[in-house]
């Protein structure tokens, strides 16, 4: 008998009974974090038992049934219906693993949050706690954080407890459970949508630097560069402007992705140095001057 015949005889001697026994003795390797599919076949007070094809049934504790509070487990875990689960604890000595539907829901929420960030969407967030650096929030059942610098109300954080805020996304990292959001980002986006080059705007001076003046326009920061103040040479902006002063200026550039707006009062002058010599008159007639600029086109 040649070797090929011997092989065929050996193969034919492996019966279906042998195959069934092999399945029974197979060591299923279930790992924490693994997605599995199974059927709930028994529910009791503490949780549910699920057949996922292992040597022993799997167990799903009551508090892992759903993100929301559940009084009747059969409402979220119908018997004999195939469902997906995540393994949250590997096999014990008896081969039983522990499952969760709650963690699966959380995973789906993180996936949804990633998509929302990519699409520059906003979301509603409820303030659940505060600390020195900002506020802790709940977003669709996931815990997140808004830094103090990204809040509209920064002085009285206690007053924000329990409130619902509309926020945008700064960071979404499921692996590190890192969810950072911003209330100012949403306000800025809304404000940007109302702005255009050539538009006359009014804002408050919030900072003066050697290179220019920072102006706040309804929650959006803008810069009046020193070269855009006047047609004459100017060496010290603090001699011309004061913190808290309201000024009118024309938008000459918008860069929404970087959150930058460039302003000019220079274009409002009818003659070089008019801003330095008679700012009050320039501001009082700014609307008419801006219209002339728009008609002529910004240079």
Q: Specify the pLDDT at position 6.
A: 45
Tokens of 177: 């459970």
Q: Specify the pLDDT at position 20.
A: 53
SS3 sequence of 135-186 = EEEEECCEEEEEEHHHCCCCCCHHHHCCCEEEEEEEEEECCCCEEEEEHHHH
Q: Is 194-296 in the same CATH topology as 119-188?
A: yes
**Domain boundaries along the sequence of the chain:** 34-100, 119-188, 194-296
Q: Specify the pLDDT at position 14.
A: 58
User: 19-41, pLDDT tens digit by residue?
Assistant: 555 545 444 578 888 999 999 99
Which superfamily does 119-188 belong to? Answer: Nucleic acid-binding proteins (2.40.50.140)
34-100 folds as: OB fold (Dihydrolipoamide Acetyltransferase, E2P) (2.40.50)
CB count in 10 Å sphere of residue 87: 20
CATH class of the domain defined by 194-296: mainly beta
Would you call 125 exposed, middle or buried from its count of C-beta atoms within 10 A (0-12, 13-18, 19+)? buried
> Dihedral (C-alpha) 208, 209, 215, 221: value to the nearest 10 degrees?
-140
pTM of the predicted structure, to 2 decimals:
0.57
Q: Which residues of the chain are modeled with pLDDT < 70?
A: 1-28, 190, 219, 257, 297-299
């Amino acid at each position: 008998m040649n070797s090929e015949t011997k092989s065929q005889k050996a193969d034919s001697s492996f019966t279906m009974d042998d195959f069934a026994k092999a399945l029974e003795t197979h060591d299923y390797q279930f790992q924490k974090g693994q997605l599995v599919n199974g059927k709930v076949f028994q529910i009791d007070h503490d949780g549910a038992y699920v057949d996922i094809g292992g040597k022993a049934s799997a167990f799903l504790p009551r508090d892992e049934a759903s993100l929301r509070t559940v009084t009747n487990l059969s409402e979220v875990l119908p018997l004999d219906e195939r469902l997906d689960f995540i393994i949250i604890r590997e096999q014990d000595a008896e081969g039983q693993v522990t499952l969760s539907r709650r963690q699966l829901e959380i995973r789906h929420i993180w996936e949804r949050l990633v998509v929302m960030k990519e699409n520059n969407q906003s979301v509603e967030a409820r303030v659940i706690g505060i600390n020195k650096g900002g506020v802790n929030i709940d977003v669709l059942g996931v815990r997140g954080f808004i830094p103090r610098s990204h809040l509209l109300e920064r002085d009285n954080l206690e007053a924000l407890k329990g409130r619902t805020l509309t926020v945008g996304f700064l960071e979404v990292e499921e692996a590190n459970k890192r969810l950072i959001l911003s209330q100012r980002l949403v306000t800025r986006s809304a404000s940007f949508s109302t702005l255009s080059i050539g538009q006359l705007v009014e804002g408050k001076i919030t900072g003066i630097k050697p290179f220019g003046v920072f102006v706040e326009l309804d929650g959006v920061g803008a810069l009046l560069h020193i070269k855009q103040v006047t047609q004459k040479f100017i060496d010290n902006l603090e001699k011309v402007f004061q913190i808290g002063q309201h000024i009118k200026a024309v938008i000459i550039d918008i860069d929404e992705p970087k959150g930058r707006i460039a302003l000019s009062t220079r274009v409002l002058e009818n003659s070089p140095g008019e801003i330095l010599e008679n700012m009050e008159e320039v501001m009082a007639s700014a609307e008419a001057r801006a219209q002339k600029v728009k008609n002529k086109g910004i240079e």
